[in-house]
Amino acid sequence: MLSIRSTSRILKVANSRQLSSRWQQLRRPFSSTPPPPDPTKNKGPVSWMSLFLVGIAAASVTAYYKLERERRLEQAMRKVVSSESDGWSPNPEVLAKRKFKRTPWGWFPEEDAFGAAGKPAIGGPWTLIDLDGNLVTSEQFKGKWLLLYFGFARCPDICPSEMVKVGKVMDTLKEKYPKLHQNIVPLFVSVDPARDSLKALREYGNDFHPSYIFLTGAPDQVQAMAKKYRVYVSKADESPDGDYLVDHSIVIYFHDDTGDLADCFTQSMRSSDVVEKIVERMTFVPTY
């Protein structure tokens, strides 16, 4: 039989081995030997070459965006009706042969009469009817700057969007440029006089900025004004129930206080862009 002393010695050795094993287990997580690298993780910071390639890609995208925007702007302005058409519907053969010139006021037919400052011959005297049934002429707005838009009350999306944009422009001008704001009048001219009665326009106008003046007239009056402004207007085929849409130019004309065209604002422009252009035109001081 083992003596008590031998048994005690065996227990000490066993305890020593258990403690050593436990110490190794506790020590292992804190070992200075690093774990193998994870091949799926990023190996380091972005290199200069990758930054250079990203910069080239961003510049290419920006250049493409600008070219595409110019292309769409030109397409929009090519809807202008030539003086050789009837002023109510486009003359495709004439439009296809015409060259367009880019001016500070947008794209216009190259052979149109341009003044010394390069302004296209757009606009002229007109007579229409307001919502009270009174005759209104262009002469009555001399001394005021005009934001003129052609549309129709049953337009499902584009007209409301453009009119809301003009409303935002008016609110911004009132807040930031009150003196300019008080000299600007927004006008809406219906290109669908057959359906846009005074009552229909009055109800339509309730949804938009209160500063709007809504105008309509006899078909020949509207047609004459559309022709002077080179506005493209085309009635689509009627549905069985007699309903139809009207395709038209999407341009906001900006007239100065003498009645001359000062600028044109296309659909792609934001309200902030329009405000910037308006302030630029109204505060411009010639140096000659």
User: What pLDDT is stored for residue 245 in this prediction?
Assistant: 84
Specify whether the CB–CB gap between 150 and 252 falls below 8 A.
Answer: no
User: Does residue 264 have a known ligand-binding role?
Assistant: no
User: What pLDDT is stored for residue 115 in this prediction?
Assistant: 46
Q: Output the CA–CA distances (angstroms, integers) from residue 280 to 76, 138, 253, in the order listed.
A: 23, 24, 15
Specify whether the CB–CB gap between 189 and 225 falls below 8 A.
Answer: yes
Report d(CA 139, CA 34) in Å as an integer: 87
Count the Cβ atoms, other than its own, within 10 Å of residue 117. Answer: 10
User: Does residue 248 have a known ligand-binding role?
Assistant: yes
Tell if the pTM clears 0.75, that is, is over it. Answer: no
**Domains detected in the chain:** 121-282 (3.40.30.10)
User: What pLDDT is stored for residue 90 in this prediction?
Assistant: 41
User: Does residue 155 have a known ligand-binding role?
Assistant: yes
Please tell me whether residue 144 adopts helix, strand or coil conformation: coil
288 residues of the chain, pLDDT tens digit each: 545 555 555 555 555 555 555 545 545 544 445 556 655 555 555 567 777 777 777 767 666 655 565 555 445 444 433 333 333 344 444 445 555 555 544 445 554 444 444 555 788 999 999 999 999 999 999 999 999 999 998 988 899 999 999 999 999 999 999 999 999 999 999 999 988 999 999 999 999 999 999 999 999 999 999 989 988 888 777 777 777 888 888 899 999 999 888 999 998 999 999 999 999 999 976 654
User: What pLDDT is stored for residue 236 in this prediction?
Assistant: 78
Among 68, 123, 75, which Cα is nearest to 100's?
75
